[in-house]
Amino acid sequence: MFFIRPAIFIGIFFTLSVSVPVSFARIGTFAEDNALFFSMERVEINPELSFRLASRADGRTQRDIAEFAGYYAEGSLEYSRGNFGLAADSFIEARKKWPEYFYADFAAALSYEAAGKYDTAARYYKSYLNKLRAYGKGHYGISAPLILSFSSGYVENYDYAYGAVKRRLSDYGIRLATVTPAPSSDLFPVAAALFFMSLGLVYLTFRSVIPFIKKKIREKNPPEGFWVCPRCGACTPELSFECSSCGKEKPGGKK
């Protein structure tokens, strides 16, 4: 699940000790060849890293990432065999395992496009672009090193990618600006909402509910020689007919 993925990413990153070149020197080279940009070969995952993961799938960290790599590799294989529907299914499974890896969206889009499902392909292209933009803005700080590792150390420029996809979809009569991105399997927003709701309930309990209960208990069992003000909960000597804290009259009045 996504909300535990940061720990998984950190663990796998240091476990494998992968050396990731953070240089973006190769960004923009795809502008020279549009056909290469829209090829499956461009977005295939690093085979050496996949092999190392498969051979060390002996813990939760390794298993989760290895499953992602397995689905992705299966999708690439089915695509090469011309089974584009099966390829798309595998890439979507990989996408569920690692929603931030935008190349899974791109690969799914290529598969749907090859199958002639252009509207569906457009939705995954749009999802790919949204995630690529988020990556470029640094929103994937924890998983960014792994994205570079799996993509062999380079990521394309968002502006070029947007233009390339826009031109690609226009060939099918589809306007990129009107496309709705594919739904994300990312559960983080839901988990985060539940987490903060839980915090709110805990805060409310300690701030309001517990003091209220304590107040009622004090009212029923005041210290000897005192009465408890029902308004503020302060203890006032029995002989006093007004609360020493807020001035409220003693329940029952003067006796």
**Per-residue pLDDT tens digits for 96-107:** 988 999 999 999
- Residue type (1 letter), 86: L
* pLDDT tens-place string over residues 219-247: 677 777 788 888 887 888 877 888 888 88
SS3 string, 136-185, reads HCCCCCCCHHHHHHHCCCCCCCHHHHHHHHHHHHHCCCCCHHHCCCCCCC
Measure CA 95 to chain center: 12
Query: Do 180 and 123 touch, CB atoms closer than 8 A?
Result: yes
Q: Nearest to residue 5, comparing CAs of 50, 43, 60? A: 60
For 13-57, the pLDDT digits (tens) are 444 444 333 333 344 444 456 888 999 999 988 766 666 655 555
pLDDT for residue 197 is more than 80 = no
> What would the mean pLDDT of 98-117 be, rounded to a whole number?
96
- Provide the whole-model pTM: 0.62
Residues 6+ apart with CB under 8 A from 123: 109, 179, 180, 181, 182
